[in-house]
Chains A and B, each alone.
Chain A
Amino acid sequence: MNNIVILPIIIPMILGLIMVIFRRRIMLHRVLSILSMTGTGGAAAYLIYQVKHEGIQTLQLGGWEAPFGVSMVVDMLSALLLITTSIVALFCVIYAFKSIGREREEHYFYPLFLFLITGVNGSFITGDVFNLFVCFEVMLISSYALITLGGKSIQLRESIKYVLVNIIASFLFLIAIAYLYAVTGTLNMAHLSERVAEVGQGGLMTAVAIIFLFVFSLKAGLFLFFWLPGSYSAPPTAVAAVFAALLTKVGIYAIYRFFTLVFYHEPQVTHLIIGIMAAVTMVLGAMGAIAYKDIKKILTYNVVVGVGFILAGLASFTDAGMTGSIYYLMHDMVIKALIFIIGGVIIAIAGTSNLDDMSGLIQTHPYLGWMFFITALSISGIPPLSGFIGKVYITEGTFTSGYYWLGAIGLITSLMVLFSVMKIFMNSFWGETILSEEMEKGTTRGVMFPIVALVMLTIGLGLGAELLHDYVEIAVEGLMNPSLYIEAVLGGNAQ
């Protein structure tokens, strides 16, 4: 039992509720947002320490022992994702201070943001499938509100699609849970893992597994990403950044949890399907990123490519592939938030998101230009930045497991990603300066801090990969040995 496990869920929740009560106190909202992110970050850091030294941490809510009650479980993967989430969300919210506007702030922007984080953290922590569904819903309902907040016509149009797709996905999620419960008689993940291992993952279980894969793919944007480019380009930048950084990652996390803990017996079926979906996702995403001349569209298609690449590591189902995925997952959260923020600043300055209508920004904004350059290198995995190490390991993993085509597609799409972001760099920063400082629609004042901090973070993640390796190794060990997770949750009750 460890009550710190619950903190990343209830800190943002309680502070968000306090904000709702004091609606007009915007300064209070800002202070509480920062407090909440640093608080969850601190809790996550302490959990990492505890997991490293004492093994997986669990909490049986209300003292009801697993598998009867709801278990909260933090293993190294969850803890690493929690701390990355806190850091990324902190900088996104700092960026929002200057960019989101008074109107949205007064209409509960910060509480909604914190409830979103509550749902995201809850999904990372929970050890119960139905509770995972609930946390998904907490996250999604906040995201519905955030995507429509402000009520511009493009937001309303895209949010209808977004809400519809997610409601259908949630509905399928419930059906899948019902199937799972009907077959196994439990929803506790550790207990599920045990039961599935006992009866064997036959055709029926594999079919259920594929329904779950379908549900989580819709959320993660794995192959079923048709809704993503539209929805993620509609809301204001701070919201789009946090969506791109966190929401798809929750789907990815769920796929990881399910296909390493519960449905890991038939990798030649399920993991091959994941591999094929990842490959198609990468190819289509990269094609989209290259095809468009609109910054928002290019960036959202880059999100799609990232999703495919992370899941290529899972498809390989090797230690190296998993290690790479975890590195890349953390890198991707940081880098997607960063590039969305920078993209948003560029759009704010130029007053348009069309690349043809901007050029020569480096004259007036040299720092922004070079920050973008570093980000662009990092996103395509140039050493020594943070994308590199993950890419190496994932490629190694896919080659070891014999999926050469998957590794090759990963590498080729990396080049396409590099091309797509360099296209933004060359079009917007190089060339003749057509905008004088007076004609600019926005400024970089006040928004450079989160950008610089995230750039430092991507450099740090790249150079400090060695330091991180111990922790990633523990996370991979946990993923590859479900017995560790089962032992931690069920303890003496394990059969």
Chain B
Amino acid sequence: MKKPNDIILRGVTKVAVVIIFTFAINLFFAGHHNPGGGFIGGLAFAAALTLMFLSYDVDSVRANFPVDFKVLTAVGVLIAVLTGMGGVFFDLPFLTQAFDYFHLPIFGKTELATAVLFDIGVALAVIGTAMVIIMTISEDR
């Protein structure tokens, strides 16, 4: 098989992936009060991973990103459910969220919310699921 000439694709990917990752994280944190959140942030993250898989081969990306996406999905959902359990230990309904304002160095007055933990779980689950689906289809020849 002829080696494809994809130097431009690879070059662009190297830059674009960083931008997409940053944007994904930005979307994730924006989601607390504005449009965005774990689901859409996770999808953007998965898009960047897919771009890497497309422009480089699966094996070399896997070597640098050694995560089993099925496990990632499970861990994500587990984090989300266990965050929901948090309220149970304080005798509040399941899925109750809490938030408060703290003064942190560098950030100043910051809102910390348990909903973010839940969202991290959602993001991991979305990344995992999207990647499992894409990888499964790509393996199927």
Bound-complex Cα distance A18 to B78 (A): 8
Choice from A6, A17, A62 contacting B74 with Cβ under 8 Å: A17
Bound-complex Cα distance A14 to B71 (A): 13
Determine if A59 and B93 form an interchain contact, defined as CB atoms under 8 angstroms apart.
yes
Determine if B95 and A20 form an interchain contact, defined as CB atoms under 8 angstroms apart.
no
Residue B77 at the chain A interface, CB threshold 8 Å = yes
Q: What range describes how many residues of B lie at the interface? A: 20 to 34
Choice from A3, A14, A18, A21 contacting B94 with Cβ under 8 Å: A3
Bound-complex Cα distance A23 to B71 (A): 9
Bound-complex Cα distance A442 to B78 (A): 39
In this complex, what residue of B is CB-closest to A61? B95
In this complex, what residue of A is CB-closest to B84? A10
Q: What range describes how many residues of A lie at the interface? A: 10 to 19
A 240-256 binary contact with B (CB < 8 Å = 1; else 0): 00000000000000000
With contacts A61-B93, A61-B95 taken as known, whether A20 is within 8 angstroms of B71 at the C-beta atoms is: yes
Determine if B71 and A13 form an interchain contact, defined as CB atoms under 8 angstroms apart.
no
Bound-complex Cα distance A40 to B93 (A): 18
Determine if A60 and B75 form an interchain contact, defined as CB atoms under 8 angstroms apart.
no
Determine if A21 and B93 form an interchain contact, defined as CB atoms under 8 angstroms apart.
no
With contacts A3-B88, A61-B94, A63-B92 taken as known, whether A21 is within 8 angstroms of B74 at the C-beta atoms is: yes
Residue A1 at the chain B interface, CB threshold 8 Å = yes
Determine if B95 and A13 form an interchain contact, defined as CB atoms under 8 angstroms apart.
no
Bound-complex Cα distance A21 to B67 (A): 12
Q: List chain A residues, Cβ under 8 A from B73.
A: 20
Bound-complex Cα distance A216 to B23 (A): 43
Bound-complex Cα distance A265 to B40 (A): 44
Determine if A63 and B93 form an interchain contact, defined as CB atoms under 8 angstroms apart.
yes
Q: From A1, A21, A60, name the one whose CB has the most chain B CB atoms within 10 angstroms.
A: A21
Whole-angstrom distance between the Cβ of A480 and the nearest chain B Cβ: 29
Bound-complex Cα distance A14 to B91 (A): 20
Q: List chain A residues, Cβ under 8 A from B70.
A: 20, 23
With contacts A6-B94, A60-B93, A62-B93 taken as known, whether A21 is within 8 angstroms of B81 at the C-beta atoms is: no
Which A residues from 1 to 52 make CB contacts under 8 A with B?
Answer: 1, 3, 6, 10, 13-14, 17-18, 20-21, 23
In this complex, what residue of A is CB-closest to B115? A62
Q: List chain B residues, Cβ under 8 A from A21.
A: 71, 74-75, 78
Whole-angstrom distance between the Cβ of A63 and the nearest chain B Cβ: 5
Determine if B81 and A17 form an interchain contact, defined as CB atoms under 8 angstroms apart.
yes
Residue B82 at the chain A interface, CB threshold 8 Å = yes
In this complex, what residue of B is CB-closest to A108? B70
Q: From A1, A59, A60, A62, name the one whose CB has the most chain B CB atoms within 10 angstroms.
A: A62
Determine if B82 and A14 form an interchain contact, defined as CB atoms under 8 angstroms apart.
yes
Determine if B92 and A14 form an interchain contact, defined as CB atoms under 8 angstroms apart.
no
Q: List chain B residues, Cβ under 8 A from A6.
A: 88, 94
Choice from A3, A17, A59, A60 contacting B77 with Cβ under 8 Å: A17
Q: List chain B residues, Cβ under 8 A from A23.
A: 70-71
B 39-77 binary contact with A (CB < 8 Å = 1; else 0): 000000000000000000000000000000011011101
Whole-angstrom distance between the Cβ of B123 and the nearest chain A Cβ: 16
Whole-angstrom distance between the Cβ of A40 and the nearest chain B Cβ: 15
Determine if B78 and A17 form an interchain contact, defined as CB atoms under 8 angstroms apart.
yes
Question: Which are the 9 A-B pairs with shortest beta-carbon distances?
Answer: A20-B74, A62-B95, A6-B94, A17-B78, A17-B74, A61-B95, A3-B88, A63-B96, A63-B93
Which A residues are closer than 8 A to B by beta carbons? 1, 3, 6, 10, 13-14, 17-18, 20-21, 23, 59-63
List 26 interface pairs A-B (beta carbons < 8 Å), by A numbering: A1-B93, A3-B88, A3-B93, A3-B94, A6-B88, A6-B94, A10-B81, A10-B85, A13-B77, A14-B82, A17-B74, A17-B78, A17-B81, A18-B78, A20-B71, A20-B73, A20-B74, A21-B71, A23-B70, A61-B93, A61-B94, A61-B95, A62-B87, A62-B96, A62-B97, A63-B87
Q: A6-B88, A18-B74, A59-B93 are in contact. List 5 more A-B contacts (CB 8 A).
A: A3-B88, A6-B94, A21-B75, A62-B87, A63-B87
